[in-house]
Amino acid sequence: MPEVVKAKLLKKEYLKDDIVKFSVEAIGIVKTAKPGNFIEIKVSETTYPFLRRPISIYNIKKDEGILEFIVQIKGEGTKLLCEKKNGDIIDIIGPLGFGTFKYEKYQNIAIIGGGIGVFPLYELAKEAKEAGKNINIYLGFRNKDYVVLEKEFKNVSNKLVVTTDDGSYGENGFAIKFLEEDLKSKKVDCIYACGPLPMLRAIKKLSIKENIPCQVSLEQRMGCGIGACLGCSVKKANSSKENPQYFQVCKGGPVFFAKDVEF
Ligand SMILES: Cc1cc2nc3c(=O)[nH]c(=O)nc-3n(C[C@H](O)[C@H](O)[C@H](O)COP(=O)(O)OP(=O)(O)OC[C@H]3O[C@@H](n4cnc5c(N)ncnc54)[C@H](O)[C@@H]3O)c2cc1C
Ligand code: FES
């Protein structure tokens, strides 16, 4: 069950000028949080901005009651959030989303993320590694200035490939190219992805071609975040034009099997 938590900001760390990692005390959230869940954050003390902002859970430290999330400054809401100081109280609702990453029945998993889409994949990799799974991770960034969390993902993988679109760091090209290459020789039981839509579409296509299940986290723009406004709807795959049916990403997702949704 989601809870409203007044979370104390324990530590704020700049990973880049515009990317901030938050560690907060949030026992009520971490006790039930699962990989793929997200939180809704009230970014200011006033009524502006009115809507909470959805942010993925990056790391769950259950024993310490600590929740970590990472925010890239995009607009006014994330800017205000990143102005918080250590010791401040942040109003958070979570964990949210019934659609979480399922890894229990797969042994060989491939995780692929692009840009800020890598954040929700860390907890998945961490838990799956602890459960003894074989984990290959592919992370793609625009260029070397955007590369984050390489050491963290290395620690929770059997193999990590970091790529940049311009080759300025790591391997040259899109991350999917390296996943596709590995699929020729490696057994993969499920693919997990989060990132920009064109990347997710390409991964869905690859997973269908290779007949491998694929779970995607969709970071759809949201309004209410709790299933009341329909602002985050995505069409169910195979529902007809005449009678289209929809999932709400904030409730049914954000993680779906790629074959079940049109995006
Ligand atoms: C389930 C989910 C998980 C997310 N996890 C993270 C995360 O872990 N870290 C993180 O930094 N961000 C994450 N986001 C995106 C984050 O919620 C938005 O960047 C944020 O709400 C923007 O608020 P703002 O007030 O700063 O910007 P706004 O002023 O609302 O918008 C600024 C710009 O950002 C764009 N934008 C807003 N929301 C989104 C979105 N969902 N996807 C793409 N572009 C958007 C707008 O179109 C606009 O161009 C997530 C979104 C969802 C739905
Ligand atoms: S954001 Fe309102 S229904 Fe999902």
The CATH number for 24's domain is: 2.40.30.10
- Length in residues, the chain: 263
Q: Which residues line ligand 1 (CB under 6 A)?
A: 38, 53-56, 69-72, 74-78, 116, 119, 219-222, 254
| Beta strand ranges found along the chain (DSSP E) | 3-16, 19-25, 38-42, 53-56, 59-61, 66-72, 89-96, 108-114, 134-141, 159-164, 171-172, 190-194, 214-217, 233-235, 246-248, 255-257
Residue % of the chain over a pLDDT of 90: 92
Say if residue 82 is in the same domain as residue 130: no
Say if residue 136 is in the same domain as residue 196: yes
Say if residue 82 is in the same domain as residue 196: no
pLDDT at 46: 87
196 lines ligand 2 (CB under 6 A): no
250 inside domain: yes
Task: Look up tokens 């039930």; give the residue.
Answer: 32
Atom number of ligand 1 nearest to Cα 54: 17
Atom number of ligand 1 nearest to Cα 222: 53
Atom number of ligand 1 nearest to Cα 49: 25
User: SS3 for 236?
Assistant: strand
Which of 51, 58, 94, 69 minimizes the C-alpha distance to 10?
Answer: 69
pTM: 0.95
Say if residue 46 is in the same domain as residue 123: no
CA of 74 to the centre of ligand 1 (A): 7
Q: What is the pLDDT of residues 219-229, one digit of tens each?
A: 989 998 888 88
233 inside domain: yes
Say if residue 116 is in the same domain as residue 209: yes
223 lines ligand 2 (CB under 6 A): yes
Say if residue 120 is in the same domain as residue 31: no
CA of 53 to the centre of ligand 1 (A): 7
Say if residue 49 is in the same domain as residue 85: yes
CA of 259 to the centre of ligand 1 (A): 24
Say if residue 248 is in the same domain as residue 158: yes
pLDDT band, residue 244 (cuts 50/70/90): very high
Which of these three, 40, 64, 96, is where a domain ends?
96
Task: Find residue 54's DSSP bridge partners.
Answer: 40
230 inside domain: yes
Q: Are 97 and 36 in contact (CB under 8 A)?
A: yes
Phi, psi torsion values for 79, nearest 5 degrees: -65, -45
CA of 249 to the centre of ligand 2 (A): 7
State the ligand closest to the CA atom of 40.
1
Q: What is the pLDDT of residues 159-182, one digit of tens each?
A: 999 999 999 999 999 999 999 999
Q: Are 57 and 66 in contact (CB under 8 A)?
A: no
- Residue 241 pLDDT exceeds 90: no
Tell me how crowded residue 15 is: count the other CB atoms within 10 A of its CB. 14
Which of these three, 69, 96, 123, is where a domain ends?
96
Q: Are 160 and 153 in contact (CB under 8 A)?
A: yes
CA-nearest residue for atom 38, ligand 1, is 221
Supply the range of the domain harboring residue 147. Answer: 108-260
Say if residue 12 is in the same domain as residue 51: yes
Q: What is the pLDDT of residues 100-156, one digit of tens each?
A: 999 999 999 999 999 999 999 999 999 999 999 999 999 999 999 999 999 999 999
29 inside domain: yes
Q: What is the CATH number of the domain that holds 221?
A: 3.40.50.80
CA of 237 to the centre of ligand 2 (A): 19
101 inside domain: no
Task: Find residue 171's DSSP bridge partners.
Answer: 163
On the question of a cis peptide bond just before residue 95, with omega within 30 degrees of 0, the verdict is: yes
Say if residue 85 is in the same domain as residue 115: no
102 inside domain: no
Which of these three, 31, 62, 96, is where a domain ends?
96
Say if residue 131 is in the same domain as residue 221: yes
103 inside domain: no
CA-nearest residue for atom 1, ligand 1, is 219
Say if residue 152 is in the same domain as residue 39: no
Q: What is the mean pLDDT of the chain?
A: 96
69 inside domain: yes
232 lines ligand 2 (CB under 6 A): yes
Task: Work out how many domains the chain is built from and give that number.
Answer: 2
Q: What is the pLDDT of residues 29-59, one digit of tens each?
A: 999 999 999 999 999 988 888 899 999 999 9
